[in-house]
Structure 1
Amino acid sequence: MKGWLMFVEIHNYKNLGLNKSQVAKRLSIDYKTVCKYWDMTPSTFSKLQQDAQTRSKKIDGYQRQIIEWLKEFPDLSAAQVYDWLLEMHSTLNFSERTLRNYISQIRTVYKIPKHPPLRQYEEIPELPPEKQAQADFGQIWVKKLDGSRIKVYCFVLVLSYSRYKFVWWQDRPFNTQDLIRLHQKAFDYFGGMPSEIAYDQDRIIVVSENAGDIICTEDFQNYMCHMKFKMRLCRAYDPESKGKVEAAVKFVKYNFAKHRVFKDIESFNDECMLWLDRTGNGKVHDITKKVPKEVFALEKQHLLQIPSTLFDQKSTNSLTYSVRKNNTISYKQNRYQVPKGTYSPKKEVLLSLNDDMLNILDIDTGEVLATHKIHEGKGNLIQIHHPERVKGKNIQDLEQKALAHFEHSDEAIHFLHLIEETKPRYYGDQLHLINQVNKGQALEDKLAALKYCMERSLIGGSFYKESLEYILMKKEESASNSLPFKMPELNSKPNISYIKPETRKIEEYLFYPRKDSGKWVH
């Protein structure tokens, strides 16, 4: 409330006998504003209004510059204008908020609307059947039976030609293995596969765009190489480049999932499959004006044949087992270990039996996770060699280099084995230290230092380094104490021409006072 109306209302309530606090509350204005106009006369208020309209503002001195900027760059923000003014004048005697209001008035007076730059689009001709599909993810909050909410995640794959859709839901975020499994489900649902799939730059698919040399996650790269379909990667922050699946995700979220009561994820997916047949693929598409289900009948004939799976899951020797939280598989009352990190909720693997051997394979990729000999007893834990203890190529190279310094002696092999057992996490560092101190040293010195360590149970690179330094020091002392001449033969005149008498300095014969045992002596 501003202007004459506010002034009149304040004085009307004043004449009715209300106090200032009551007036401020009635008019919903600040108490200080009421105090300001409480005793003001109409003529004084009128003069105050006229002065406000004609009064110059601090910011008026920058008006010309601001108008030039706005005309040249209509989408310029007030924050950027404020920063440019600071850059030109170092300090300003008005706030950014004041400038924002001032620019708003300038845009109105000088008719400079703030139009963001428009992106121009071009309609792309429809792709031929089987040419391409587009994939994307979505998420939405839905209500549960008890009234609480849960976030569910969907994967959508749309065939570009027919707009025929496949949708699958999870109650947790997707990972790479989920994505591979859902591709297989989608291809089975379609009865074939396209030759190219367009993706967004998602971290479970792509590590880096790398200027066109796309680097995928290892598992997904292996899957693509096996299935032999091409990847088309959309530009970052460019959802319009895969508009078909973007529209499909929105359609799935707001036509199927929104306001639907969530019972469990299995029921949710069953209901979604019925919705796809009824509405998602059975309703006339707004763009093509055709029913996706009917067009798909034509496109299906052109889809590529699905390559054989990485592992034949229908084999009679194959069994499906769940992975426990401690990364083990229970088979015939024994626990067989799988690599750490294999477990995830509802994770399953395939057990392949071959005579007395048990192979544990990934159900999606067919990768052999572990191989065990079938144990005859019960209640036993059959372990695998822990992946953290497997020597990498770099460790192997360092180890061979260290052994070469000792000419692969048995004592050196035993010494390195003890270091690996006692310091497994730092085995590489220990090897590097041993190789560093051994550079340029004689073999006999290195073997002597090694023997010194083994006799005293000094296991470690640092102990070996100190032992080698000690051996070298003793060797140097021994060399310096040895005689510089050999004994002359009997009945022969010794050659003493090289012997020179010692010459003392003259200062040693002078008497200087010195303090010895508390007394001054000469």
Structure 2
Amino acid sequence: MNVLKPNQRTTVYTLLERGSTQREIARITGIDRKTVRSYQRRWQAEQSNSPRVATGSDAVAAQTPPPWPPAPSSASNPAATSLCEPHRAFIEAQLRLRRNATAIYQDLVDSHGFAGQYNSVKRFVARLRHKEPEQFDRLSFLPGEEMQVDYGEGAPTRVPGSDRYRKPRLFVATLRYSRASFRCVVWKSSQQVWAELHERAFRHFGGCPQYVVLDNLKEGVIKPDLYEPELNPVFAATLAHYGVVADPARVRDPNRKGTVENAIGHTQATALKGRRFESIETQNEFLAHWERNWAAKRIHGTERRQVQAMFEEERPHLKALPLLGMQYFEEVQRTVCDDSCVRVDHSSYAARPAAIGSKVRVRIFAQRIQLFDLQTGTLLRSHPKAQRPGTVVLPQDERVFNPSRETRLILRQAAQIGEHAARLCQLLFAIEGRVGQRKLWGIVGLARRYPAHCIETACAQALEQGIYSYKRVQALSESLFADALEAIEAHAGGDVAPTPATLTQQHGLIRDAHEYGDLFAHAAASAMTTATAATTPTATTLTSTQGGRA
């Protein structure tokens, strides 16, 4: 009890003798009601033990009339009956229908001739309403089963580069079984900061719990839902990396994570109340010191055990930490452009098999880029991150025709036809350059209509004649193929074999029959179209005939 000065004590006694209530005395004198109550008890004890005659100031106080209106007394002035009492049954029925006092007052006036005021109905309704106290269960969890996390407000801290103080965000993670906590303050929060704080909490405890209970803040939960809440992708990936399952509390249900709520209140009221810090680092160092020397050594009020002792019991039940930490990323959506690439930080990355115009989900790591299907979440591609803006990460085999880089492809296909075809194409490109690539494509394309040996022979004759032209090679190939067909038809009809004067058996350009057979077999096995496949038996017969004549 506070000790009052003599003049204050006299004032309180005087007001008590006049019949003033404790509330009135506290309002008049500015003295706390608890102090007034204590002096009222002392005054009543003095009055009952030593009755005296009113003299002096007491007599004057006794002759002074009490203030108007007189103070209410529950003993002398019983409460008047409410005007709503005759309508109690009607009001109780309306309250069971969950109607409010305004609606009940309007019905009383319209249908029952009520002459009182709305405040009378409001007071009567307040007395009738009986709110059952809410029952809470004593939640209990196994060691290492659950960790609860939440944000609060830290102590005022000087903003870097200014003289202004601001309260940072206070992150608290509390193990439900042992009540051991990790506390840290940050200036601002984000998806990555929220995930990093969880990772720091896991490493502070030396292990991971099975579940983490959090609020429905945007850093952790994108779309709250009672049955299937949608987690933030960075936060979900972090928990998956550590093997922890998120269990978001229901919306507007903070009692589900009451342990961390109490831990935040305990931190703010005990550790940070009335303190100021010059930097975030200083406040975090103080919180670590306070947790280690005071909070961990306290005896918990409910469990009646030391927090540190319970944590030592819980520590072996936490899951082991992975060797590598979480690799954080930024997740965005991108549209596949007409070059089958997506643009990320001014660089292009191949997105096949995603279709052109479709959207993909892109995860941007520090050293790599990952592309996922937007609907199924399947990993499509993974590329090393470009070090320079403007880089195009697209394999050569996925690029469409480009005159500046397709020459090697054409010459390689010409070499598959034969030595003379490759030499002719090289001469054409050396003479005409990039424009000559059209002729090269034409010569290579003849392999889809004629056997390779016919094209090779035509290229050899064109080289011998010194005519480097696609049309010349095409004409020679057609002539050779037509002659071969005529010879096949003549042999099939039983005609007499041509005389040696019309058929040259020995020439520098004519190869051995077995070599021609190998060329036909190679062409049939590698790149033969439907037309070539149709002519293959005939060509084979021609080879056999020539071999027999040889």
Q: Same fold (TM over 0.5)?
A: no
User: Which of the two has higher C-alpha Rg?
Assistant: 2
TM-score by length of 2: 0.42
TM-score by length of 1: 0.44
